[in-house]
Amino acid sequence: QRNAKVAIMGASGGIGQPLSLLMKQSPLVTELSLYDIVNTPGVAADLSHIETPAKVKAFNGPDQLKDSLKGAQVIIIPAGVPRKPGMTRDDLFNTNASIVRDLAAAAAEVAPKAFVAIISNPVNSTVPIASEVFQKAGVYDPNRIFGVTTLDIVRANTFIAEAKGLDPLKTQVPVIGGHSGITIIPLISQAKPQVSFPDDQLKALTERIQEAGTEVVKAKAGTGSATLSMAYAGARFGIALIKALNGEQNIVECSYVRSNVTEAKYFSTPILLGKNGVEKNLGLGKLSSFESKLLEAAIPELKKNIQKGEDFVNKK
Ligand code: ADP
């Protein structure tokens, strides 16, 4: 049994708390560092009573930021402000951009070799932000910084399984591109098991996957956005990273990473994970003509989002 020290940045939040719970539940985690600007002592005390091996420690406020990251092998970042109705992920940009920049700067200094998994939206831009910060600090390894798009895959698996009466846990739908609106590209033609839909249903399912976040924002009616399903997805991805660190083979997850698969500098595709992070980018696979059109529409938007992130760090 190997050590796996995980740090959750923004651990007191709507995503942070259930994410911390799920990571505490995993027997693969040996230490769990909970960082937030508020309330971590309570969250940590509560979780520390759970009968799993992980030692839970609270770090509260900026004075304890660097300590929270010391020795972390996996850093998961859900910190930010939540999306309100009518707000796009891009509206969150300025607040979350600063938060991710500052957390990434601390990580680059204290835990430059850690795997960094970014949940804070807009992921299309916050991953370039963290990458630029690591670059400036001279410790950038493109194989170790990940945008968590797992919720798009989880939703696609659920919706496709529902539509076909399949077991969702045995349904695998790759989702590529980015993590907002039209940049989300479900590859239903590559679903396992193979499925097929009439054109109108394919279009409706694709749009539902792309806009699923809005379904939750509307249903929560002003009280927040997806937190529980996001926490599940974040934990699934975090645990995949730990398994890869532990030398487990064939760990594949879609993730938004530095990429030369398309014209977009960052792009999500299925990634074979290993001890050093991205071991192999498994690429696009074969796209249907419908999916090729989705890709075409996504690229300009993605490029814009990436540029916006880079410009935020390298300000005018
Ligand atoms: P979400 O639904 O996205 O989780 P919340 O507002 O519930 O949104 O949670 C976001 C969490 O991020 C809050 O607990 C908040 O205190 C935390 N947070 C905000 N700014 C920072 C920061 N600079 N560093 C760490 N955590 C932060």
Which pLDDT score is estimated for 92? 76
Q: What per-residue confidence (pLDDT) applies to 81?
A: 82
Spatial CB neighbours of 230, under 8 Å, sequence gap ≥ 6 = 15, 19, 78, 119, 151
Residue of 29, 28, 34, 27 whose CA lies nearest to 7: 34
The closest residue, in CA terms, to atom 26 on ligand 1 is 10
Residues of the chain scoring pLDDT < 50: none
Ligand 1 centroid from CA 36, angstroms? 7
pLDDT at residue 82 in the model: 66
**pLDDT score at 90:** 65
Examine the residue annotation and report whether 49 is marked as an active-site residue of this protein: no
For residue 12, the CA-to-ligand 1 centroid distance in Å is: 7
Query: Which residue among the candidates 5, 179, 258, 265 is catalytic per the annotation?
Result: 179
Ligand 1 nearest atom to the CA of residue 38, by list position: 16
Which residue has a Cα nearest atom 14 of ligand 1? Answer: 13
| Predicted pLDDT at 165 | 98
SS3 108: helix
Residue range 160-207, pLDDT digits in tens: 999 999 999 999 999 999 999 999 999 999 999 999 999 999 999 999
pLDDT at residue 83 in the model: 63
Task: Give the separation between CA 273 and CA 205, rounded to whole angstroms.
Answer: 29
- pLDDT at res. 12: 98
Q: Which residues line ligand 1 (CB under 6 A)?
A: 9-10, 12-16, 36-38, 78-82, 99, 224-225, 227
| Angle subtended by helix axes 228-245 and 150-164, to nearest 10 | 110
0.90 surpassed by pTM: yes
